[in-house]
Amino acid sequence: MEILLIIFFVFIFFLFFAIKLKASAGTIITVIIHLIAFIPFLFCLLTSVEHNIAIDPMDGGYTPLGQKHMLTVFVFYILYVISKILIWIKSKTLPPLTWVIATVFVVIGIVLNIFITLQTSYSNDMLGFNYYPINTSINHNTITFFLFYPLISSITSFYILAKSFNTVANHFNEYQYQNSTLNYLHKTLFKIKSYPLIILLLIFPIFLIITIILMLFGQDSDSMIKVFTDTTTWRFSQQSHPPALDHKGHYLCTVAARGNPSIVKPIRIGKRHGKPIVINRQLMIANAFEDIIQVNYPKTHNFIRKNYDTYGYNLSKVINTPFKSDVTYILMKPLEWLFIIFLYLFCTKPEELIKRQYKN
């Protein structure tokens, strides 16, 4: 997803550029709004995975945009952003044909935004002929974060184009090309008032040219379609996902897997007895504490482990809803704090010990 990070830094660069040039307050505010909307959009994409990867139900979910085809989206979106900025700042001074081409890229970007909005506005866990018990509640919770940026970007694009059409009319009437052919073409187009028409006519050939260039870099001819269809659980998805990872375990494991992610904060997939489990920091701290006790106080550890195995597993069967997991997580917080105090008192490198948990 390095591509998305590049777009993010483009916004950052333009924000500093606008501030340095002492742009209007409206311009700076608009850039900041785009940036604020893009951050959660970027975060949701970075924390989601491809359709062919097995995930736990409490992971970040599946990506709405196929990563294999993201280069196509990136190129068109960068051209869209640059053209949008160019029209916004330079409408009065752009040569007519340059303005037309930039407008074509903005229109393509708006269409792309619309399809991203449609793709991310619906999520389902039943696709094709196979049903796998993937909990897409996380997808539903992040739909709002996905929608903000393409909607805001499209709205500002419509505004910029509308304002630009009004601005360039007189400017184009007075513009003269030194090249006689370009000047004749410009005069003919302006005379018949057909700039909107020529924009529509140029969309397909320009799209085709960029697509052919992208094919030289390994993209498919239909990558713009596959970026939406080579996904799972979203509106245009055509792929099925593998079965969910096993996330059963004792109650701390259950909390890490089944609680509300904003509360229990799952970190990554770890291994327990050779099986993948979802872990959070509370579980890692508890396991690090157990390691210390096991090494230094084996009899105490055997007593704790025997009772834990006796009662913990039965308790885990009761904790079978996100709400119960959230409550358990909160109730375990004081014990987590005692564990972390113990680790910092008796371990020379407590954070390294915590990070090592469930790695093998």
pLDDT of residue 133: 42
pLDDT of residue 143: 64
223 in the same domain as 114: yes
Residues 6 and 73 sit within 8 Å (Cβ to Cβ) = no
303 is a domain residue:
yes
Where in the sequence is the domain holding 134, given as residue range(s)? 2-229
237 is a domain residue:
no
Give me the sign of the Cα torsion angle 92, 95, 96, 100. negative
Domain end: 160, 194, 229, which one? 229
* Distance, CA of 142 to CA of 43 (rounded, Å): 10
Q: Model pTM?
A: 0.61
Tell me: the pLDDT tens digits for 303-332?
877 777 666 656 666 777 778 788 888 888
Domain end: 229, 262, 295, which one? 229
Strand partners, 279: 268
179 in the same domain as 83: yes
192 in the same domain as 267: no
pLDDT confidence band for 59 (50 / 70 / 90): low
Return the closest-CA partner of residue 90 out of 22, 171, 176.
171
239 is a domain residue:
no
Average pLDDT, the chain: 76
Tell me: the pLDDT tens digits for 248-289?
445 565 565 567 778 888 888 777 666 677 788 888 888 888
297 is a domain residue:
yes
264 in the same domain as 152: no
pLDDT of residue 62: 84
The amino acid sitting at 249 is G
Domain count across the chain: 2
Residues 74 and 64 sit within 8 Å (Cβ to Cβ) = no
pLDDT of residue 346: 84
Give me the sign of the Cα torsion angle 298, 304, 306, 308. negative
241 is a domain residue:
no
**What dihedral angle (degrees, nearest 10) is formed by the CA atoms of 138, 148, 35, 136?**
10
Helix axes 298-307, 281-296, angle to 10 degrees: 130
Residues 172 and 96 sit within 8 Å (Cβ to Cβ) = yes
Lowest-confidence range among 124-128, 198-202, 251-255, 352-356?
124-128
329 in the same domain as 209: no
The stretches of 219-332 forming alpha helices (DSSP H) are: 223-229, 251-258, 261-264, 281-296, 298-307, 313-318, 322-331
The C-alpha angle with vertex 172 and arms to 168 and 84, in degrees rounded to 5, equals: 40
Strand partners, 271: 276
243 is a domain residue:
no
175 in the same domain as 59: yes
pLDDT confidence band for 137 (50 / 70 / 90): very low
Residues 6+ apart with CB under 8 A from 277: 56, 245, 246, 247, 249, 253, 256, 257, 269, 270, 271, 358
225 in the same domain as 261: no
Domain end: 229, 259, 288, which one? 229
Residues 6+ apart with CB under 8 A from 65: 45, 73, 116, 119, 227, 228, 231
Residues 6+ apart with CB under 8 A from 206: 101, 104, 105, 108
299 in the same domain as 198: no
Percentage of the chain beyond pLDDT 90 is 15
270 in the same domain as 157: no
**Residue matched to tokens 């399809």:** 115
264 in the same domain as 118: no
pLDDT of residue 135: 44
220 is a domain residue:
yes
130 in the same domain as 56: yes
DSSP classification of residue 53: S
40 in the same domain as 172: yes
Tell me: the pLDDT tens digits for 173-207?
666 667 777 777 766 666 545 677 778 888 999 99
246 is a domain residue:
no
